[in-house]
Structure 1
Amino acid sequence: MADRTSQGGDGDGIRTFPFPVELSEGGVGMQVGPMGPHRTWHADAPLQRVHRIDFHVVMLFDKGPVRHMIDFAEYEAYAGDVLWIRPGQVHRFSKFSGYRGTVLTMQPGFLPRATVEATGLYRYDLPPLLHPDAAQLAGLGAALAQLRREYKDTTTLPLSLHTAVLRHSLTAFLLRLAHLAASSQEAARAQADTTFTLFRDAVERDFATNHSVSAYADALGYSRRTLVRAVRAATGETPKGFIDKRVVLEAKRLLAHTDLPIGRVGAAVGFADAANFSKFFQLHAGQTPVGFRAELR
């Protein structure tokens, strides 16, 4: 929805798009409207390439499937699903998907601190793709429709009252959305075995220095076989595959967000030899580190 960019971004080659207050109705810190073929996002941006935003984007889809990349993970959304992209995250639109539904964008600082905390606006640990059930979807849809009506009604109230009403309507929608996000995470955790949870946390802490399944098993006090069963039950993949995926994700982030030499990127994720890192990355990412970085720049 924005049509301007910050100058120079963060120095990593990825362009950052700020929230365009001047393009919103009445100059308020939010926008809400339809997604569709005649509505463009970031008019001068290459949407099918990776870019960063410094505001929140919430997309509620009427049709699907839609494939969308957020922080180098691909998500597939269907009718009734919600995608929530937070400030600082990189993302990319799919040229093969038709985006249909309603989109909400909001500027950091538009809501008071208490509301920000209550709605978990900066809970980056929560999943970006949400699947509301029928009742949750009805509540979200009604709250979003009310917000759209208030957003477009710029004539019946003074701007200060109009802005206050928008903040209250936006808070109502976000409280529903935050509950959905938190409950989705709790459901996922409830399904996860304690063994896997401990393994996942250990990998998150030590993946840059430890790529050994046996070492993780020993540190956690489990047999390798027990760890394999727990990880496969929770994720469908092997412990080694889980570790490698996390290492690749971190390498991608460093390649995209920094200008570190390839050897330094490899060292940061546990490879003393740059050639070994390049072979590992190409095996798992399907391209060389140099090629991956060039594709994003």
Structure 2
Amino acid sequence: MGAGAGAIQTFPFDPRASVSGVGIQIGPMGEGGPTWQSRAVPERVHRVDFHVVMLFTGGPVTHMIDFADHEARAGDVLWIRPGQVHRFRPAHAYRGTALTMQPGFLPRAIVEATGLYRYDLPPLLHPDPAQLAGLRHCLEQLEREYVDTATLPSHLHTAVLRHTLTAFLYRLAHLAAGSAGRRAVEGADSAFERFREAVERDFARNHSVSAYADALGYSRRTLVRAVRAATGETPKGFIDKRVVLEAKRLLAHTDLPVGRVGATLGFPDAANFSKFFHQRTGLTPALFRAGMG
């Protein structure tokens, strides 16, 4: 069924493994590749609390992200965002460059402008030759700046890394938006960004749109308008979608009893959780779990 335990293991970003302790890591995949990958059992699902971008020079590699298998080939880009449940195949199958980014390394304005938390965008990207050349150029420049700790003081080294990373992320975000048939990523409405952050923090105990609006200091109408503009959904639909995703993760990848899963997600009564899950997925929690076996 999955991890066979009561929780899905999360690997944190380790700044001690970075050059000069900065908030990114960049280097080749495969042997001697990313530190979190070498610690994770390849076939075991896990999360990371940072961004991972992999630019492939070989393949194919099938990588699972939140119940979907993505087959990456040479020239493809795979973008895994914080908290997504995913699983590596054997490490030796991965060839290319991996970039990891610690949340908080970039200022909020850049995070919003580059859509770093646009979970609605596809993780697997297929750049055309011109887009791929631009991404490679930016990534190669970023790697050169990353390892060059001799020519600048540490504070300027970090500043240059932030600027170079931002250029890469603008290209990546534009590609992701185009791949989804959306308009180019623009600066997100701050009301939606604050709501998204609050939901991510509190979805397991707060399912009320009014409670979020009150806590954030917005009217319900303002919140509805901001969330609909950013996602096409209502705030309630956004909250419920996040709760359902976490329920699926826990049902598929842990051995927690259904009642415990519901309690973990803010449903003290198991029957209410089962009703909620069935209304939004068409399956009972038990049937969903059985189908993942």
Residue 88 of structure 1 and its aligned partner are, at CA, apart by 1.1
Residue 266 of structure 1 and its aligned partner are, at CA, apart by 3.9
Scaled by the length of structure 1, the TM-score of the pair is 0.66
Residue 147 of structure 1 and its aligned partner are, at CA, apart by 0.3
- Residue identity matched to 2:31: P
Query: Which of 61, 66, 85 is equivalent to 2:61?
Result: 66
Query: Which of 260, 264, 278 is equivalent to 1:270?
Result: 278
Query: Which of 240, 248, 252 is equivalent to 2:248?
Result: 252
Distance 2:105 2:289 in 1: 41
Structure 2 runs not aligned, ≥5 long: 184-231, 260-269
Residue 258 of structure 1 and its aligned partner are, at CA, apart by 9.0
Query: Is the 2:78–2:125 Cα contact (8 Å) retained in structure 1?
Result: yes
**1:62-211 to 2 correspondences below 5 Å:** 62-95=57-90, 98-186=93-181, 205=237
**Change beyond 3 A, Cα 1:250–1:113:** closer
Query: Larger relative CO (CA 8 A, sep 6+): 1 or 2?
Result: 2
- Residue identity matched to 1:268: F
Name the structure 2 match of 1:32: 26
- Residue identity matched to 2:156: L
For each residue in 1:207-232, what CA deviation from the matched residue of structure 2 results, as whole angstroms up to 9, or x when unmatched? x9xxxxxxxxxxxxxxxxxxxxxxxx
Distance 1:260 1:268 in 2: 16
Distance 2:233 2:157 in 1: 45
Residue 97 of structure 1 and its aligned partner are, at CA, apart by 6.7
For each residue in 1:235-280, what CA deviation from the matched residue of structure 2 results, as whole angstroms up to 9, or x when unmatched? xxxxxxxxxxxxx977532414794526656443228xxx976456
Distance 1:40 1:108 in 2: 17
Query: Is the 1:30–1:107 Cα contact (8 Å) retained in structure 2?
Result: yes
Distance 1:64 1:80 in 2: 9
Residue 109 of structure 1 and its aligned partner are, at CA, apart by 0.5
For each residue in 1:30-74, what CA deviation from the matched residue of structure 2 results, as whole angstroms up to 9, or x when unmatched? 011111234353243323201111000000000110111111211
Residue 23 of structure 1 and its aligned partner are, at CA, apart by 1.0
Query: Is the 1:30–1:104 Cα contact (8 Å) retained in structure 2?
Result: yes
Distance 2:164 2:254 in 1: 36
**Change beyond 3 A, Cα 1:181–1:95:** same
| Equivalent pairs, count | 222
Distance 2:73 2:145 in 1: 27
Q: Percent identity?
A: 60
For each residue in 1:56-104, what CA deviation from the matched residue of structure 2 results, as whole angstroms up to 9, or x when unmatched? 0000000110111111211111110001011111111013871000000
Scaled by the length of structure 2, the TM-score of the pair is 0.67
Distance 2:245 2:50 in 1: 23
- Residue identity matched to 1:37: E
**Change beyond 3 A, Cα 1:102–1:129:** same
What's the secondary structure of 1:178's corresponding residue? Answer: helix
